């Protein structure tokens, strides 16, 4: 469903992008780490694809594993086998492209405990096939130095979850899942119709609420998931740039007019346009909006995205960059600067205790 007229239209001076500071977050700082901020399947020279880490008590929880996210995870100071829990929003490959590499890398570093992967229907198949791509290579490694192979349901636990309630809870956080409208354009009779879902997650931790939209249309589901959230980590689309991007590709690759128009309509309706995101955030009484998954991901300039959100939203707007870190329990408003290998002394807990 598209954003309804019931969403209040507000006016505001557009907020400026949040700049990085010289401060470095400590390893125990509870924080959001933007690992990949590119939107869509087209690779970017400056951004990895969709991935966000929520670090609570020094433990990273990973939301989506797009292409480039394994390297970004290492740059943020975390070995792959430090991650215990992964949450998939939906099974487009720009959100799962590094999933097999992530699991193989965690296996190679030795798994102190199983990795749990939570996601919508179809996630088990995606995980199984992602691992299959690395089976041959793992067999070679095991022929050189014998070790336990990577096993589904023992080393990798997949839980396909239904939206509408709590899908995960441990001593650090509680996670709720909501089905959004990113897959609203699936056509009846096609293989994915009725099979696949796209999820948004609402996380409660340390007295804070963080909502991660994944990909979605601008609808009341996102507003409900983000109600009174301290942080809304959201994808964002610039409609003007999107039209220009699609029309340029249509000209270069000789799209039919119908295909070009259909592609534009699809992108505008199944992603969150910047001005609509501002209305959602304002109505949901969100405190801070963190922009990620920029559509189109054609460059570093995020001013159009920020200005669009700022038309209706008076809170803080942070234009995300890869490896940007945002503390969740501080009121200073600072964003930690990005730096490669900032936690060089990070040690993986090998005790095997959760």
How many Å apart are CA 125 and CA 305, to the nearest integer?
A: 35
DSSP state at residue 121 = T
What is the pLDDT confidence band of residue 345, given thresholds at 50, 70 and 90? very low
> What is the mean pLDDT of the segment spanning 127-145?
95
DSSP states of 21-48 as a string? -S----TT--EEEEEE-B-SSS--SS--
pLDDT in tens, 116-128: 999 999 999 999 9
309, 274 Cβ separation under 8 angstroms: yes
Percent of the residues in the chain that have a pLDDT greater than 90, as a whole number? 82
Which of 6, 58, 65 minimizes the C-alpha distance to 28? 58
Specify whether the CB–CB gap between 62 and 32 falls below 8 A. no
Q: Are 173 and 17 in contact (CB under 8 A)?
A: no
- pLDDT tens-place string over residues 25-60: 888 899 999 999 999 999 999 999 999 999 999 999
User: What pLDDT is recorded for position 337?
Assistant: 65
List phi, psi (to 5°) of 224. -70, -45
Phi-psi domain of 141 (left: phi exceeds 0; alpha: psi -120 through 50; beta: other): alpha
Q: What angle do CA 139, 35, 181 make, to 5 degrees?
A: 95
Task: Report whether 99 contacts 130 (CB < 8 A).
Answer: yes
* CATH code of the region 31-327: 3.60.15.10
Strand order in the sheet with 231-237: 166-169, 174-179, 199-205, 208-212, 231-237, 288-295, 316-319
Each residue's pLDDT tens digit, 78-107: 999 999 999 999 999 999 999 999 999 999
Residue 183 has pLDDT above 70, yes or no: yes
């Amino acid at each position: 469903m598209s954003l309804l007229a019931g969403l209040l239209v507000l006016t505001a001076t557009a907020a400026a992008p949040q700049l990085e500071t010289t401060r470095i977050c400590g390893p125990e700082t509870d924080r959001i780490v933007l690992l990949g901020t590119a939107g869509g399947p087209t690779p970017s020279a400056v951004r990895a694809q969709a991935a966000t880490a929520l670090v609570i008590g020094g433990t990273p929880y990973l939301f989506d594993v797009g292409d480039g996210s394994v390297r970004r995870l290492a740059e943020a100071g975390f070995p792959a086998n430090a991650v215990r829990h992964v949450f998939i929003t939906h099974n487009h490959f720009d959100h799962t492209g590094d999933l097999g590499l992530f699991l193989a890398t965690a296996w190679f570093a030795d798994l102190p405990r199983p990795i749990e992967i939570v996601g919508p229907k179809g996630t088990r198949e995606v995980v199984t096939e992602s691992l299959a791509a690395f089976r041959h290579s793992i067999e070679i490694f095991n022929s050189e130095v014998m070790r336990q192979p990577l096993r589904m349901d023992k080393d990798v636990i997949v839980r396909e979850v239904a939206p509408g309630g709590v899908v995960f809870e441990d001593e650090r956080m509680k996670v709720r899942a909501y089905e959004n409208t990113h897959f609203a354009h699936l056509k009846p009779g096609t293989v994915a119709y009725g099979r696949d879902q796209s999820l948004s997650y609402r996380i409660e931790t340390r007295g804070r609420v963080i909502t991660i939209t994944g990909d979605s249309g601008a609808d009341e589901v996102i507003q409900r998931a983000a109600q009174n959230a301290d942080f809304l980590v959201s994808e964002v689309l610039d409609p003007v740039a999107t039209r220009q991007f699609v029309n340029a590709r249509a000209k270069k690759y000789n799209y039919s007019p119908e295909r070009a128009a259909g592609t534009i309509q699809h992108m505008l309706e199944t992603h969150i346009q910047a001005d609509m995101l501002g209305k959602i955030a304002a109505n949901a009484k969100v405190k801070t909006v963190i922009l990620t998954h920029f559509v189109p991901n054609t460059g570093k300039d995020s001013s159009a995205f920020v200005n669009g959100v700022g038309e209706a939203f008076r809170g803080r707007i942070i234009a995300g960059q890869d490896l940007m870190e945002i503390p969740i329990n501080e009121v200073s408003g600072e964003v930690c600067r990005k730096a490669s290998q900032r936690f060089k002394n990070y040690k993986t807990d090998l005790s095997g205790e959760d």
